[in-house]
Amino acid sequence: MQNPFTLTFGKSPLEPVERPLQTMEIVDTFTAETVNQQMFIITGVRGSGKTVMMTEIARRLREREDWVVIELNPATDLLQGMLAKLNSNKVCAAIIKSAKIDLSFFGFGVAIEGVPPLTDTETAIITILEKLKKQDKRLLITIDEVTNNDYMKVFAGSFQIFVRQDLPVFLLATGLYENIDKLQNEKNLTFLFRAPKIQLKPLNQQAVMNKYKNIFQIDQDVAKQMAELTRGYPFAFQVLGYLTWNHSGHYEAVLEEYEQYLSEFVYDKIWSELSQKDRIVARGIAETESGKIKEIREHLGMETNEFNPYRKRLMKKGIVSGETRGYVFFTLPLFERYVIDNS
pLDDT in tens, 289-332: 999 999 999 999 999 999 999 999 999 899 999 989 999 999 99
8 Å CB contact between 233 and 241: no
> What is the amino acid identity at position 252?
E
pLDDT digits (tens, 9 = 90+) for 84-118: 999 999 999 999 999 999 888 888 876 776 778 78
> How much is the pLDDT for 76?
96
Spatial CA neighbour of 177 closest among 191, 160, 163, 197: 197
Q: How would you classify the pairing of strands 169-175 and 39-43?
A: parallel
> How much is the pLDDT for 11?
75
8 Å CB contact between 321 and 329: yes
Domain 20-199 has CATH 3.30.70.2860: no
CATH number for 275-341: choose from 1.10.10.10, 2.10.70.10, 3.60.15.10, 1.20.210.10.
Answer: 1.10.10.10
> In the chain, where are the structural domains located?
20-199, 205-270, 275-341
> How much is the pLDDT for 20?
92
Output the 3-class SS for 287-337.
HCCCCEHHHHHHHHCCCHHHHHHHHHHHHHCCCEECCCCCECEECCCCHHH
> How much is the pLDDT for 110?
63
Contacts of 278 (CB under 8 A, 6+ apart): 310, 313, 314
Positions in the chain whose pLDDT score sits under 70: 110, 113, 187-188
> How much is the pLDDT for 185?
75
Distance, CA of 36 to chain centre: 22
